[in-house]
Amino acid sequence: MSHGQDMNRRDFIKISSLFLAGSAAMSTQIGRTFSGTGNALAGEHAEKVVHSFCEHCFWRCGIAAHVRDGRIYKITGSEHHPLSNGKLCPRGTGGIGQIYDPDRLAHPLIRERKGGQSTYRKATWDEAITLTAEKLYQIKEKYGPQAIAMLHHGYGYTFFKEMFKSFGVNKFAKPSFDFCCGPRHQGYILTYGHSAGTPEGIDIQNSKYVIFFGTHYGENMHNTAVQEISEGIRRGLKIVVFDPRFSTLAGKAEKWLPIKAGTDIAMMQAMMNVLITENLYDKQFVEENTVGFDELWAEVREMTPEKAAEITDIPAEDIRDVARRFASFAPSAAVHPGRRTQWYADGTQRVRCIAILNALVGNYKMPGGVVKYEKYKLPKAPHHHYPEFEKEIWSQYPLFTDIKPSNTMASHEVMQQTMNDEIKAWFVYGVNVPETVTLGRKATLEAIDKVDFLVAVDTLPMEVTGYADVVLPECTYLERYDDLDGGRPYRTPFVALRQPAVEPMFDSKPGNEIARMLADKLDLHGVFEDSVEEYLDKRLKAAGSSLEEVKKTGVLLGEPTDLYRKPGEKLTFKTPSGKIELASSKMREAGFSAVPKYIKHPEAPEGYYRILTGRKPMLTFGRTANNRFLNELPTARENDIWVNPEVAKQHGLTHGEYVHLKNQAGVVSEFPIRVKVTERIRKDAVYMVHGYGHYFKKLNWAYKRGASHNQLISQTEIDKAIGAVGFQNNFVTFIKEA
Ligand SMILES: Nc1nc2c(c(=O)[nH]1)N[C@H]1C(S)=C(S)[C@@H](COP(=O)(O)OP(=O)(O)OC[C@H]3O[C@@H](n4cnc5c(=O)[nH]c(N)nc54)[C@H](O)[C@@H]3O)O[C@H]1N2
Ligand SMILES: Nc1nc2c(c(=O)[nH]1)N[C@H]1C(S)=C(S)[C@@H](COP(=O)(O)OP(=O)(O)OC[C@H]3O[C@@H](n4cnc5c(=O)[nH]c(N)nc54)[C@H](O)[C@@H]3O)O[C@H]1N2
Ligand code: SF4
Ligand SMILES: [Mo]
């Protein structure tokens, strides 16, 4: 077993009955929720509908929580919120399974050692907060504030961040940058001077032709995008999918191109080659609005479709055909930027290829092309009462600094600095570190073992809480206020409110209260002068509304963004040249190639297959793994390993049998995984959904279901420009059950 071998200091918690909420009262609550829906709907009690936003993924759609007798009995899509339009993805409705999860963290917990083994004892909030404050204070006194780091994901972190800033702590990191969307933010910023956005600035509503590289909408369920694509298909939108696997989206495409994994840059260079050699690009747009065309041409002129065909395993004729059709539908055509873009170490340049292809056809601010949404003009939060201090960037990666979100380092750098004794304490908000921070689970656990003090704020007994010294149980998003969701550009600019639909259950508390208690203990006076309601009210009044008003619908809407270019409009971009940078000056200055180069990635050893990963409609990794509402059927509670029939035959595997996976470094999956024999995957790769194989027994529903993707990662490559971590150069073979 790869976890918990070192039983000295930070052994993984295995025993403790105090941990669970699972009381008789809780079971009754669950029973009522699941079976009582029909009655509640027909009943005569007054119903309350509370408008808020979802936390089951980071799209943050508007929800309507339907409450009766103090209980939420269903969650529907808000009709007011522009990201839901009255609909939710399947996970959004499943919030009930999170709030009424009987495994929820019910009380603060403090680690204790008894008889040579660690256990948790139930603590009062005062004890847990006092211990946390004392430890953080001591570490800061002894080593300075730079010995403390906060890792965060999800939307409740903002109050903790305020608290830490006023404490002088400036090391913030989120794995969703370096393990997820870092390359597409930076790749876009380097090229266009602005991010690709969430939701992405692609005018799918008016597109005729959209090309996707990997991005697997339909399995990746980002609500508004899935709605727009399905409506598009009804309207005649043509889709092309480059994916080594026949994804759900590939099933809707006019063309599925089973590209060899890791060769996308060669493919896109060849498409550029066709656009340029056949004069299909928008010459005038390129001359007026871009720099670096000659340098780009010098790089891609050799990458003919014939050459790319050898690399990508896609026939030259198909490459030509896609490039020609893309140009013929342009400017109402686009290449989608994707989301989890840190596949390999060249993610930033791969996303730049996407941005460049769009620029070449001149689709910028054109109906159906690349568009730039605007934000709601929400004045900045009024409560920055911490002393002004120089914000230092702690990342060693030269192009990390341009990231818009206010993180100061990559999450894997927190691990590295912990191994070097520079960081002594972690405050972890909503990150299941052992399964998420992919330096390989083994390397991550070594860093966890090294850290002196670890606090986890979570809602469930996820693996990370099993390594914590203090566990602070936050209530779920359905039971609390958070800060406003007002910083995101969209077609209709909006500010969204998260507000409680019901009271916090058990002894859990909202993040804003926990942060306030910590601030008080640390004598950080004035960080949170107002109550959370007063604070939100002030912010909303500054925007011309009020908390009372916004509580009614959960959103404040702005004027629709003016999306399209006017004839003759002069475009400017926030890049160093003021133009779209086909050759990036910042990449060049930082010592990298200014134009994207194709780099060959390692191949699988004989008998091994590249592990690819993706998403499942009903699941968002740790957030939903234990959700009984979303994973009711036992078969849906695990993942499969997709294997091509020829490979299955070679290894003697049959559909439905269980195997262990072994990676190139000899790591064997802790739990077996079911084989899915399917033509839908190339012969040189296998595929599994991330978010399974949980090893903490306290997760009664998720424990031992399927195999962990993260456990099989032993080899990573870092994108040296921005510090994102590629983990797709890992390969597995099969070990048949005895
Ligand atoms: N091996 C591997 N690693 C990956 C990926 C992969 O595909 N494979 N994907 C990467 C990607 S794309 C991403 S975005 C990241 C995601 O990484 P994470 O965001 O860490 O993902 P989760 O596993 O969902 O962990 C979320 C944690 O937040 C907790 N949580 C849920 N709701 C709340 C709340 O309201 N308050 C608090 N305090 N906690 C809450 C959950 O219980 C869980 O412990 O992982 C990355 N890492
Ligand atoms: N239901 C659901 N939806 C989700 C999530 C979830 O957990 N559940 N998570 C959300 C999050 S945090 C993220 S980041 C997104 C991720 O979702 P996306 O950004 O859409 O997907 P990726 O993870 O980039 O890509 C997965 C797909 O890429 C293919 N692929 C793998 N390697 C290659 C390659 O080298 N080349 C090409 N062309 N294709 C390749 C895989 O076969 C798979 O189909 O989904 C979001 N939406
Ligand atoms: S896409 Fe689904 S899970 Fe994500 S925020 Fe929207 S409804 Fe929730
Ligand atoms: Mo992600």
| Domains defined along the chain, listed by start | 187-372+575-589 (3.40.228.10), 609-736 (2.40.40.20)
List, chain by chain if needed, residues with CB within 6 Å of any ligand 1 atom: 55, 153-154, 156, 175-176, 179-180, 340, 429-432, 435-436, 438, 457-460, 462, 464, 474, 476-477, 613, 620-623, 690, 709-710, 713
Tens-place pLDDT, residues 504-525: 999 999 999 999 999 999 999 8
Split at pLDDT 50, 70, 90, the class of 256 is very high
Give me ligand 2 centre to Cα 261, in Å. 13
pLDDT tens-digit map of 258-316? 999 999 999 999 999 999 999 999 999 999 999 999 999 999 999 999 999 999 999 99
**Range from 8-17, 206-215, 344-353 carrying the lowest mean pLDDT:** 8-17
Burial class of residue 367, CB neighbours in 10 A (0-12, 13-18, 19+) = middle
pLDDT digits (tens, 9 = 90+) for 55-101: 999 999 999 999 999 999 999 999 999 999 999 999 999 999 999 99
The region that residue 511 occupies, defined by phi over 0 for left and psi between -120 and 50 for alpha, beta otherwise, is alpha
pLDDT band at residue 652 under the 50/70/90 scheme:
very high
228 CA from centroid of ligand 4 (Å): 20
How confident is residue 487, by pLDDT bands cut at 50, 70 and 90? Answer: confident
Q: Are strands 609-614 and 685-689 parallel, antiparallel or unpaired?
A: parallel
The answer to whether 415 and 439 have CB atoms below 8 angstroms apart is yes
Say how far apart CA 580 and CA 215 lie, in whole Å.
24
For residue 331, cis peptide bond before it (omega within 30 degrees of 0): yes
Say how far residue 289 (Cα) sits from the centre of its chain. 32
pLDDT in tens, 111-152: 998 888 889 999 999 999 999 999 999 999 999 999 999 999
Q: What is the pLDDT of residue 658?
A: 97
Looking at ligand 3, which residue's alpha carbon is closest to its atom 4?
Answer: 57
Q: Please state the atom number of ligand 3 nearest to the C-alpha of residue 90.
A: 2
- pLDDT band at residue 405, thresholds of 50, 70 and 90? low
Higher pLDDT, 673 or 404: 673
Nearest Cα to Cα of residue 223 among 335, 339, 85: 85
Distance 237 CA to ligand 4 centre (A): 26
Closest CA to 619 of 682, 547, 688: 688
pLDDT > 90? residue 646: yes
pLDDT over threshold 80, residue 363: yes
pLDDT at 502: 98
Ligand 2 atom 41: residue of nearest CA? 214
Q: Give residue 557's pLDDT band: very low, low, confident or very high (50, 70, 90).
A: very high
Check pLDDT > 90 for residue 36.
no
Strands 425-429 and 333-335: unpaired
Q: Please state, as a whole number, how many other Cβ atoms lie within 10 Å of the Cβ of residue 655.
A: 13
Q: pTM for the complete prediction?
A: 0.95
Q: Place 369 in a pLDDT band, splitting at 50, 70 and 90.
A: very high
Percent of the chain with pLDDT over 90: 84
Q: Which helix (H) or strand (E) holds 447?
A: helix 441-450
Q: Which residues of 510-519 are buried (b: 16+ CB within 10 A; e: fewer)?
A: bbbbbbbbbb
- Per the DSSP assignment, residues forming a β-bridge with 333 are 209
Higher pLDDT, 698 or 4: 698
Query: Alpha helices of 94-180 — where are they, by DSSP H?
Result: 95-99, 125-143, 158-166, 175-176
Average pLDDT over every residue of 686-704: 95
Which tokens in the block code for residue 152? 């965060």
* pLDDT band at residue 14 under the 50/70/90 scheme: low
Pocket test for ligand 2, best of 204, 216, 220 (most atoms within 8 A of CB): 220
Is the pLDDT at 367 greater than 80? The verdict is yes
Q: What's the whole-number mean pLDDT along residues 365-388?
A: 84
Place of tokens 């090893």: 695
Residue whose structure tokens are 């309207």 = 235
Distance from CA of residue 222 to its chain's centroid? 11
Give the integer Cα–Cα distance in Å for 139 and 495. Answer: 38
Predicted confidence at residue 386, as pLDDT, reads 60
Whether 702 and 621 have beta carbons less than 8 Å apart is answered as: no
- Residue 26 identity: M
Detail the DSSP E strand segments found in 161-249: 172-173, 209-213, 238-242
Answer yes or no: is pLDDT of 480 > 50.
yes
362: left (phi over 0), alpha (psi -120 to 50) or beta: left
Q: What local confidence, expressed as pLDDT, does residue 226 receive?
A: 97
Tens of pLDDT, residue by residue over 452-476, are 999 999 999 999 999 999 999 999 9
Which helix (H) or strand (E) segment is 73 a member of? strand 71-77
- 8 A C-beta contact, residue 508 and residue 475: yes
Ligand 2 midpoint to CA 215 (Å): 5
Q: Are 186 and 721 in contact (CB under 8 A)?
A: yes
- What Rg value do the Cα atoms of the chain yield, rounded? 25
Contact 502, 66 (CB under 8 A): no
Average pLDDT, the chain: 92
What is the model's pLDDT at position 28? 34
